[in-house]
Amino acid sequence: MAKDSKKVVDFAAIKADLGKDFKPVQILDNDAKVVNKELMATFSDEQLVDFMKKLVWERALHEQTMNFSRQGRLGFYAPTLGEEASEMGTVSAFKENDFLLPAYRDLPQLIQHGATVAEGYLWSRGHVLGNQFKARAIMPQIIIGAQMVETAGVALGLKKNGEDAVAFSYTGDGGTSQGDTYEGMNFAGAYEAPAVFIIQNNGYAISVPRPKQTAAVTLAQKAVAAGIPSVQVDGMDILACYAVAKEARDFAAAGNGPVMIETLTYRFGAHSSAGDDPSRYRTKEEEQPWFENDPLIRMRKYLTDKGQWSQETEDAYVEECKNSFKDALKDADAVAPEKVTDMLKNTFEVPTPDIAKQIAEFEEKESK
Amino acid sequence: MAKKSYIQAITDGLDILLDEDPKTLIFGEDVGKNGGVFRTTQGLQEKYGEDRVFDTPLAESGILGLAVGLGLTGWRPIPEIQFMGFTFEAIDSIAGQMARMRFRFGGQKNSPVTIRTPFGGGTHTAEMHADNLENFFTGVPGLRVVTASNPYDAKGLIISAVENNDPVLFMENLKLYRSMKDDIPDEKYTVPLDTAKVVREGTDVTIVAYSAEVNESLTVAEKLAKENISAEVIDLRSLSPIDTDTIFASVEKTHKVVVVQEAQKMAGVGAVVASEISEHAIMSLDAPIARVAAPNSVYPFAQAENVWIPNADDIEVKVRETLSY
Whichever domain contains B243, its CATH number is 3.40.50.920
Of A132, A161, A354, the CB nearest to B108: A132
Contact A131 B105 (CB under 8 A): yes
- Are residues B137 and B208 both part of a single domain? no
Residues in A 292-311 with any Cβ partner in B closer than 8 A:
none
Considering only CB atoms, which residues of chain B are within 8 Å of chain A? 25, 51, 56-57, 59, 61-62, 64-75, 92-93, 96-97, 102-110, 141-142, 144, 164-166, 194, 241-245
**Mean pLDDT value across residues A21-29:** 97
**Mean pLDDT value across residues A220-228:** 97
Residue B240 in domain: yes
What confidence tier does A276 reach under pLDDT thresholds 50, 70, 90?
confident
Domain stops at, among B184, B210, B227: B184
Q: Which domain holds residue B239?
A: 197-324
Contact A149 B56 (CB under 8 A): no
Buried b (16+ CB within 10 A) or exposed e, A250-284: ebbbeeebbbbbbbbbbbbbbbebeeeebeeeeee
Contact B144 A149 (CB under 8 A): no
What amino acid is encoded at A121 in this protein? Answer: Y
- Are residues B143 and B23 both part of a single domain? yes
**Mean pLDDT value across residues B310-322:** 98
CB atoms within 10 A of CB B209: 29
- Are residues B314 and B207 both part of a single domain? yes
Sorted by where each starts, the structural domains of chain A and their CATH numbers stand as 20-336 (3.40.50.970), 338-368 (no CATH)
Q: Supply the DSSP symbol for B205.
A: E
CA of B142: which chain A residue's CA is closest? A347
Decide if pLDDT at A304 tops 80. Answer: yes
Residue B192 in domain: no
Of A139, A150, A349, the CB nearest to B69: A150
Element (H, E) at B116: strand B114-119
C-alpha B61: how far from chain center = 21
Residue B189 in domain: no
Contact A184 B62 (CB under 8 A): yes
**Mean pLDDT value across residues A260-266:** 98
Whichever domain contains B136, its CATH number is 3.40.50.970
Using one digit for the tens of pLDDT, what is the confidence trace for B104-143? 999 999 999 999 999 999 889 999 999 999 999 999 999 9
Residue A212's pLDDT is 96
Residue B142's pLDDT is 97
What amino acid is encoded at B68 in this protein? Answer: V
Decide if pLDDT at A54 tops 70. Answer: yes
Residue B256 in domain: yes
Q: Provide Rg for chain A, Cα atoms.
A: 22
Using one digit for the tens of pLDDT, what is the confidence trace for A130-150? 999 999 999 999 999 999 999
DSSP 3-state of A14: helix
Of A132, A190, A352, the CB nearest to B57: A190
Element (H, E) at B305: helix B305-308
Residue B229 in domain: yes
Chain A residues in contact with B142 (beta carbon < 8 A): 347-348
Report phi then psi at B28, rounded to 5: 160, -175
Using one digit for the tens of pLDDT, what is the confidence trace for B38-81? 999 999 999 999 999 999 999 999 999 999 999 999 999 999 99
- Are residues B54 and B151 both part of a single domain? yes
How many domains does the structure of chain B reveal? Answer: 2
Is there a contact between B310 and B262 (Cβ–Cβ < 8 Å)?
Answer: yes
Mean pLDDT for all residues in chain B? 97
Closest to A77 (Cα-Cα) out of A90, A64, A86: A64
Residue B166 in domain: yes
DSSP 3-state of B176: coil
- Are residues B157 and B228 both part of a single domain? no
What confidence tier does A275 reach under pLDDT thresholds 50, 70, 90?
confident
**Mean pLDDT value across residues B142-158:** 98
Residue A201's pLDDT is 98
Contacts 24+ apart (CB under 8 A), A37-45: A39/A239, A39/A240, A39/A243, A40/A239, A42/A243, A43/A239, A45/A306, A45/A308
Q: How many residues does chain B have?
A: 325
Q: What percent of chain A has pLDDT over 70?
A: 99
Cis peptide before B192 (omega within 30 of 0): no
- Are residues B17 and B156 both part of a single domain? yes
Residue B205 in domain: yes
Decide if pLDDT at A156 tops 60. Answer: yes
What confidence tier does B295 reach under pLDDT thresholds 50, 70, 90?
very high
- Are residues B17 and B122 both part of a single domain? yes
- Are residues B220 and B111 both part of a single domain? no
Domain stops at, among B184, B208, B233: B184
- Are residues B157 and B14 both part of a single domain? yes
Nearest-angstrom CA–CA distance, A215 and B146 = 45
Domain stops at, among B184, B208, B231: B184
Chain A residues in contact with B98 (beta carbon < 8 A): none
Decide if pLDDT at A206 tops 80. Answer: yes
Contact B106 A132 (CB under 8 A): yes
- Are residues B127 and B207 both part of a single domain? no
Is there a contact between B104 and A139 (Cβ–Cβ < 8 Å)?
Answer: yes
- Are residues B158 and B42 both part of a single domain? yes
Residue B22 in domain: yes
Decide if pLDDT at A274 tops 90. Answer: no
H-type helices in chain A, by residue range?
11-17, 37-40, 45-70, 84-91, 107-112, 117-125, 146-161, 179-190, 210-213, 238-251, 284-292, 295-305, 311-333, 340-345, 353-367
Using one digit for the tens of pLDDT, what is the confidence trace for A328-356? 999 999 999 999 999 999 999 999 999 99
Contact B102 A347 (CB under 8 A): yes
- Are residues B14 and B72 both part of a single domain? yes
Q: Supply the DSSP symbol for B287.
A: S
Closest to B264 (Cα-Cα) out of B120, B140, B95, B148: B120
